[in-house]
Amino acid sequence: MLKRIWTIFIRDLTVNMREFMTLFMMVIPLLLAVGINFLSPGINDTSVNLALIENENPEQAAYFDDFAHIELFSDKQRVEDRVRSRDDVIGILPKDNGYFIMTQGNEPESVLEYAKLLNVLYESDVQLEDARSEIIEFGRTVPPLKKMLVNILLLLISMLAGMLIALNILEEKVDRTVSAINVTPTSRSAFILGKSLTGMAIALFSSIACLLITGFYNINLGQAALVVFSTTILSLLIGFIQGLNSDDVMEAAGSVKLLFLPMAGSIAGYEFVKGNWQIFFYWSPFYWAYKANDMILSKSGSWPQLILFIGIILVICGAVYALLAPRIVKGLQ
C-alpha cells in the first residue's frame, strides 16, 4: 500500500512539475515572503509624518528628522494641502513667537500627541547629546508585525495546499478517475492519499523557504516543519471534505471562502482578545497552529509546549475526521 501511495505521489509530482501552475504555486509564497521583507522595515519605522516649510528653519527640520518623517514644502499653502490629504500628516508652521501645529482635524490622538511632544522638546532645546538615559536591548531584530505577517503566511500556505488538494480531487472526481481506480489493484484511499502528498510537499517546501527568506533562519526549523505538517493535515482534511462533497467548482469556491473565517477569527482572537476570553478560540485548530508558530518565531517555547499544541491540533483533526468519516467514504464512492 505504502509503495503504491509513493508511486502515485512521484507520478503526480512529475506531472505537476511539468505544469507551470505547480511551480507558480511554489513561487507565489516566496514572492509574498519577499514582499513582507520589503514592507516590514517601513511599517516598523512608523512614527509621525511632519510637514514643514523648506529652508524656513533647517536646524528645526534636522532636529525633527531624528524623531519623525519629514516632508518639506515651498510655502504654507503647500503644507496645508499636504495636511489636508488623506493620510495623517501634521504641519508645524511658524507664527509670530514660535510655531503652531496644523492638523486636518481627523488624526488619531496618538499622532497629534507625538507631534506636540516633538515640538515641546524642540522648543525646550532638549538635545540627544544631553541625554541622561541608557538603552539596553535584548537583541531582537524581528518586529512583531513582521512576525505576525510571516505567521499568517505560514497558515495561508497550509490552507492553499488544502485547497489545491480539494481542487485536484474534484478534477479527478469530474474526470471519473476515482471510480476508475476501483478496477485497479490500488485502493481509492491510497490513490487519494498519494495525490494529496504533492500538496503537503509543496506546503513544507514553501513554508521552510519563506522562513529562510524572511530571516527566520535562527529558529528551530524542525519545530516549524512539525507545525506546518500538522496544519497541512488539517487543510488536507478540509480539502478532502470540500473536494469530495462538492459537485462543482462553485461549491468548492464557496467552501474556500467559508474556510477563511475560522482562520481569520483565530488570528484576530489570538492577537487582540485578552486573557481568559481566548478560551473561546480553543476549539479552532488554526488558533493552536498560530500560537505554536508564534512560539517558534519568538524562540520562546519548549518542546513539551509545542508537542502539546500539535497534539491538540491532531486531536481536533481526528475528532473532525471521526465525525465526517461516513461523508468522506461516501464521497469516495
Partner 1 sequence: MKLLSSFKKELILASRGFYFYVELVFALVLLAVLLFAIPQNFSSTSTEYLFFNLPQEGKGIFINNILKDDLDTKSEMVEVEASGKTFNAELIVTDESEIYIVDSEEAVRTLADSEKVIGAVIELDDNNQLHYKYYLQGYESTRLKNLIFILQNESTDVLEERFENQDVRPLSTDYEPLTDRENTIPPLIAFSGSLMGMFIMASYIFLDKKEGVIEAYAVTASSVWRYLMSKIFVVLLTSVVSGLIIIMPVMGFRINYGLLLLLLLTTGFFASSLGLLIASFYDNLVKAFGVIYLLVFLLMVPSIAYFIPGWDPVWIKIIPSYPLLQGFKEIILPNGNIAYPLITSAGFLAVGIILFTITNTRFKKTLSV
Q: Which of residues 117-176 bind partner 1 (CB under 8 A)?
A: 117-121, 123-124, 126-128, 130-144, 160, 163-164, 167-168, 171, 174
Residue selected from 254, 282, 283, 299 as contacting partner 1 according to rule CB under 8 A: 254
Q: What are phi and psi of 51, to 5 degrees?
A: -110, 130
In whole angstroms, how close is the CB of 263 to partner 1 at the nearest point?
A: 13
Which residue's CB is nearer to partner 1, number 4 or number 173? Answer: 173
Q: Rg of the chain over CA atoms, in angstroms?
A: 27
In whole angstroms, how close is the CB of 232 to partner 1 at the nearest point?
A: 17
Residue selected from 300, 304, 322, 333 as contacting partner 1 according to rule CB under 8 A: 300
In whole angstroms, how close is the CB of 142 to partner 1 at the nearest point?
A: 6
Q: How would you label 174-205 residue by residue, b for 16+ Cβ within 10 Å and e otherwise?
A: eeeebeebeeeebebebbbbbbbbbbbbbbbe
Which residue's CB is nearer to partner 1, number 135 or number 323? Answer: 135
Work out whether 21 is an interface residue with partner 1 (CB under 8 A). yes
Which residue's CB is nearer to partner 1, number 10 or number 174? Answer: 174
Residue selected from 212, 253, 279, 329 as contacting partner 1 according to rule CB under 8 A: 253
Task: Choose the stretch contacting partner 1; rule: CB under 8 A; options: 99-107, 207-215, 288-296, 312-320.
Answer: 99-107
Instruction: Map the footprint of partner 1 across residues 259-278, applying CB under 8 A.
Output: 261, 265, 268, 272, 274
> In angstroms, how far is CA 137 from the centroid of its own chain?
26
Residue selected from 37, 57, 103, 220 as contacting partner 1 according to rule CB under 8 A: 103
Which residue's CB is nearer to partner 1, number 24 or number 303? Answer: 24
Which residue's CB is nearer to partner 1, number 217 or number 272? Answer: 272
Instruction: Map the footprint of partner 1 across residues 172-231, applying CB under 8 A.
Output: 174
Task: Choose the stretch contacting partner 1; rule: CB under 8 A; options: 111-119, 191-199, 215-223, 282-290.
Answer: 111-119
CA neighbor of 204 nearest in space, from 242, 172, 243, 236: 236
> CA–CA separation, 194 vs 13, rounded Å?
10
Instruction: Map the footprint of partner 1 across residues 231-250, applying CB under 8 A.
Output: 246, 248-250
Q: Counting beta carbons within 10 angstroms of the beta carbon of residue 144, is it exposed (0 to 12), middle (13 to 18) or buried (19 or more)?
A: middle
CA angle 317–211–25, rounded 5-degree value: 70
Cell numbers linked to 196: 494529496
How many CB atoms sit inside 10 A of residue 224's CB?
22
Instruction: Map the footprint of partner 1 across residues 75-94, applying CB under 8 A.
Output: 80, 83-84, 86-88
Which residue's CB is nearer to partner 1, number 54 or number 88? Answer: 88
Coil, helix or strand at residue 220:
coil
User: Please, which contacts does 9-13 make with residues 24 or more away whose CB atoms are closer than 8 Å?
Assistant: 9/194, 9/195, 9/197, 9/198, 9/201, 11/194, 12/194, 12/195, 12/197, 12/198, 13/197, 13/198, 13/201
Which DSSP string do the residues of 233-248 spell out, in sequence order? HHHHHHHHHHHHH-SS
Which residue's CB is nearer to partner 1, number 9 or number 281? Answer: 281
In whole angstroms, how close is the CB of 102 to partner 1 at the nearest point?
A: 6
